[in-house]
Each structure stands twice: as C-alpha cells, then as structure tokens.
Amino acid sequence: MLDKELSPGLQEYLPIVEAILLAAPEPLSGERLGAILEVPTEQAAELLEYLRWQYDAQGRGFTVRRLAGGYRLQTRGEYAAYVSRLAQMRNPLLTTAALETLAILAYMQPCLRADIEKIRGVKTESTLRTLLERGLVEEVGRAEGPGRPILYGTTRRFLEYFGLADLRDLPAPPAEWQAYLAQKEAAPAAEQDD
C-alpha cells in the first residue's frame, strides 16, 4: 500500500488534529483549524486530508467527511445498522413535499414562498415552516416590491444533513435543465402578469 506523504514538520500535529476533530460539534474548516493550531490554512487542510486518507487506509470504523465547507469525524456508513442501535428514535426522514421544496430552494435560491408555490402548484407555508424549524432553510433577505416578501435559502445545516461539502456537490440536474433555465430567462415578463 502506497504511503501518502505529509509535509515535513506536520507529523507532530496529527494527534492534535485528531483530538480537535473528535471534540468539534460541527464541521471544522481548514481556516478554523489553522487558527487553532497557528499554522497556515493550507497546512491545516493538508493535515485533515491526510487523516482522512489514513483512516481509510487503516480501515478504521470512522472517517473524515467533507461537509458544509468543513471536515467532520463520523462513523462509516457501513456500520450504520449497529450504531443506530445506540438510540431508540431518530429524526424522521423528510416528506416528499419537504424534499421538493428543498430542491427548488437549493437550485434556485434565493426564492420567495410564492415562487415555490408556483412551481409545486400547492401551498407551501407549513412545509416551509417545518424546514425553518429544522434549520435546513433560513431567511436570506427580502424582495423589492409590495409587501417586501421574504426570500429563503438553504443553510449550512442543509449541506450537513445531505452530506454535501457545498452547493456545488448537489446532484446534477436532468438534461432538460438548460432548456428550462433558458426559457425562464427569456420570459420573466410573462410571470409578472399575475
């Protein structure tokens, strides 16, 4: 098995990074770690990547995952069945309505509630409220115009929840996506005729 090389002088930091990763209650960014260790961000990132490689190579039961712009120590997916026995209950999976709403927000943000309702064809107030409560969605501003309606967007917790490093990791939209966007650009005026 090939050995990954670590830049000289960084070896001694490894156990420290491990300790910090274990204790961190949320994803740790390279910048944050760099500040804690008092090393440049690139070196901090290198340490984190090295640990990730090391755990994989050693077949450990946990792994370092890239989530929400940072790194998090988590159990490996293969052992989920055992780990989940630690607790009786888990947060229920999201409803289809919630997933559709999140999909719209994730790819089109920022959005008005009205925008979402227009696409889904149903009222979305309670679904949005649930998503807000679960911290997956947040207010990101207000739109111009009468009523100054609220604009919504996804949160960092959203990224964590779906195991994404950042929004670019969202699944690629279907083939029709480009045509859809083009058509939206071309006819925004038609939508204001309500």
Partner 1 sequence: MSVAPYRIHLENFEGPLDLLLHLIKEGQLDILDVPISLVTEQYLAYLREMRRLDLDVASDFLVMAATLLQIKARLLLPKQSTALAEDEETDDPRQELTQRLLEYKIFKTLGAQLGELEQSAANYFARGWYEPLVTSESPPLPDGLDLQDLLAVLRRQAMQRTSAPPQEIKRASVTVGRLVRRILALVRRAGREINWREVFPGRPGRRELVSGFLALLELLRRRRIAVRQTELFGDILISIEESERGRPDA
Q: Is 121 in the site for partner 1 (CB under 8 A)?
A: yes
x/- letters, 150..169, toward partner 1 (CB under 8 A): -----------xxxx-----
Rule CB under 8 A: choose which of 4, 7, 16, 84 binds partner 1. Answer: 84
Q: How far is the CB of 101 from partner 1 (least distance, A)?
A: 8
Which residues have C-beta within 8 Å of that of residue 47, sequence separation ≥ 6?
Answer: 6, 10, 13, 14, 17, 33
x/- letters, 29..58, toward partner 1 (CB under 8 A): ------------------------------
Q: Is 174 in the site for partner 1 (CB under 8 A)?
A: yes
Q: How far is the CB of 1 from partner 1 (least distance, A)?
A: 24
Q: Please report, as a single letter, which amino acid is at residue 1.
A: M
Binding span for partner 1 by CB under 8 A among 30-38, 41-49, 83-91, 138-146: 83-91
Which residue lies nearer to partner 1 by CB, 11 or 80? 80
Which residue lies nearer to partner 1 by CB, 7 or 180? 180
Tokens of 136: 């997956």
Q: Is 109 in the site for partner 1 (CB under 8 A)?
A: no
Q: What are phi and psi of 156, to 5 degrees?
A: -70, -35
Buried b (16+ CB within 10 A) or exposed e, 43-66: bbbbbbbbbbebbeeeeeeebbbb
Instruction: Detail the DSSP E strand segments found in the chain.
Output: 62-67, 70-75, 111-112, 137-142, 150-154
| Range 101-106 contact pairs with CB under 8 angstroms and sequence separation of 24 or more | 101/127, 101/128, 101/131, 101/137, 102/131, 102/136, 102/137, 102/154, 102/158, 105/137, 105/152, 105/153, 105/154, 106/154, 106/158, 106/167, 106/170
Binding span for partner 1 by CB under 8 A among 6-14, 46-54, 66-74, 144-152: 66-74
Q: Is 96 in the site for partner 1 (CB under 8 A)?
A: yes
Rule CB under 8 A: which residues touch partner 1? Answer: 22, 25, 63, 65, 72-78, 80, 83-84, 86-87, 90-91, 93-94, 96-97, 99-104, 106-107, 119-123, 133-134, 161-164, 171, 173-174, 176-177, 180, 183, 190, 193
